[in-house]
Copies of this chain bind each other. A is one copy, B any other.
Amino acid sequence: MDGLHAASSRGGTLIETVMATVRQRIAARQLTPGAKLPSVRAFAKTMQVSTSTVVEAYERLAAEGVIRSRPGSGFFVCGPLAPLSLAEVGPRLDREIDPLWISRQSLEAGGDILKPGCGWLPADWMPQQALRRALRGLAHAKDMVLADYGTPLGLAPLRQLLARRMGEHGIEASPEQIVLTESGTQAIDLLCRLLIEPGDTVLVDDPCYFNFHALLRAHRAKIVGVPYTPTGPDLDLFAQALAEHRPRLYITNSALHNPTGATLSPVTAHRLLKLADQSDLTIVEDDIFADFETEPAPRLAAFDGLSRVVHIGSFSKTLSASVRCGFIAAPSDWIERLTDLKISTTFGGGRLSAELVFSLLKDGSYRKHVETLRQRLSAAMVDTMQQLEPIGVRPWIEPRAGMFLWCSLPDGLDAADVARRALADGVVLAPGNAFSLSRTASRFLRFNVAQSKDTRMLEVIAKAMRG
């Protein structure tokens, strides 16, 4: 009996052995999403099994959603996300901690679930009175505002106002260089459509916002991570990644980096742009946390003058995530194509949302609201650090502002295990490896200080840490 048959007799059938081999190749990235599997005949030969065994193994993997069949052309690897139960309520304990784990858990969480791992503020931190007033105001708007599509670029006065706001950060953008989108995520998605082809390489920070991984996978990009330091990406490794991988794009946050809360330093910003120039690299600067800043950080888009840096933002984190509105500020000569892509893929933008955001920005409600937010967040930051200190959960750095605290667990603890145990007790945490392409953040957790005020959280985490 050869090794293969020995293995199969120890616990599974031949079919399962073939299935396990495919899974291993996928895990080892020898087979990447979209890749074609070996033909049934060829793989049967490799595995020394019958073709019907391989057919059955492929069919079962297809049923599981690991691979899929395309008639006439064979089997292909699916995205890394396994299908799950359809139950919509309650936390899912069975899901693997993949880039979408935290999003799904946070978005699905019911009212009694605590979400220190989630990436947004509690609803009652948002400017409820102002939102309600704006809705009543919209009830008197012109017919077209309530029923018609937005213009291709989106509400002109809002774009003018955004141009002004960017000016305050030194970013010179005309209103015609600004395209409104449904959200910050959609802004990056649109830019990926414009800028990358399947198979292109994109640099991200390691760690970075986990949804960059998921989004880039949807674009079939090759993702390369560069370690992030308290002042920006590690420039030596960044230069090395440029030379080695010739990436097309780099996506980052300059101010209040997610998940670490770090801020790009001016010297790193300059050197980074110099490297980008030398390699003709395009940079997407995702600054959706900008309005939480207390002291302004350097903006790549300001240094660069919107030539190779695209600046994006949204109001989901500071105003409302229910009202969808984001934006892109890009080089002038990209705007036509960006707009065509926007229309092709979403048709008109959300006019009502844009009008709502505009009315809150215009009347000063927004400015006052974010001032209050900054103060509340600053107090909550101190509070959360003090809460976590006694149980040995320590911040990597002390962020200048914002909602995120990137913390390490004591030696020997795995954040994913802690997160899984905490979820069973109704607390959604954000384990570090969801943010880390290299999966080297297994000791880290990201805390949202605004969602960490319930004392039950600490009890649950302490218990989860005990195992």
Of all chain B residues, which has the CB nearest A63? B364
Query: What chain B residues lie within 8 Å of A124 (beta carbons)?
Result: 143
Query: What chain B residues lie within 8 Å of A366 (beta carbons)?
Result: 63
Interface residue? A103 (CB, 8 A)? yes
Which segment, of A150-158, A223-231, A402-410, faces chain B?
A150-158
Which one of B56, B86, B149, B184 contacts A322 once the chains associate, using CB atoms below 8 Å?
B149
Query: What chain B residues lie within 8 Å of A363 (beta carbons)?
Result: 60, 63
B364 touches A59 (CB 8 A): yes
CA distance A84 to B323 in the complex (A): 26
Cβ contacts A72-85/B at 8 Å (1 or 0 each): 11001011011111
Of all chain B residues, which has the CB nearest A212? B344
B107 touches A128 (CB 8 A): no
Query: What chain B residues lie within 8 Å of A339 (beta carbons)?
Result: 104
Query: What chain B residues lie within 8 Å of A186 (beta carbons)?
Result: 345-346
Which one of B64, B104, B151, B197 contacts A88 once the chains associate, using CB atoms below 8 Å?
B151
Instruction: Give the total of A residues in contact with B, Cβ under 8 Å.
Output: 120
Interface residue? A466 (CB, 8 A)? no
Interface residue? A462 (CB, 8 A)? no
Instruction: Name A263-289 residues within 8 Å CB distance of B.
Output: 279-280
Whole-angstrom distance from the CB of A270 to the nearest CB of chain B? 21
Query: What chain B residues lie within 8 Å of A184 (beta carbons)?
Result: 347
Q: A71-B246, A83-B336 are in contact. Are A143 and B123 (CB under 8 A)?
A: yes
Query: What chain B residues lie within 8 Å of A100 (beta carbons)?
Result: 340, 343-344
B345 touches A65 (CB 8 A): no
Query: What chain B residues lie within 8 Å of A248 (beta carbons)?
Result: 70
Interface residue? A215 (CB, 8 A)? yes
B136 touches A59 (CB 8 A): no
Query: What chain B residues lie within 8 Å of A433 (beta carbons)?
Result: none
CA distance A417 to B463 in the complex (A): 74
Besides the known contacts A65-B164, A324-B324, 10 further A-B residue pairs in the complex with CB atoms under 8 A apart: A56-B364, A79-B337, A83-B337, A108-B151, A135-B146, A148-B321, A149-B322, A218-B344, A324-B352, A350-B353
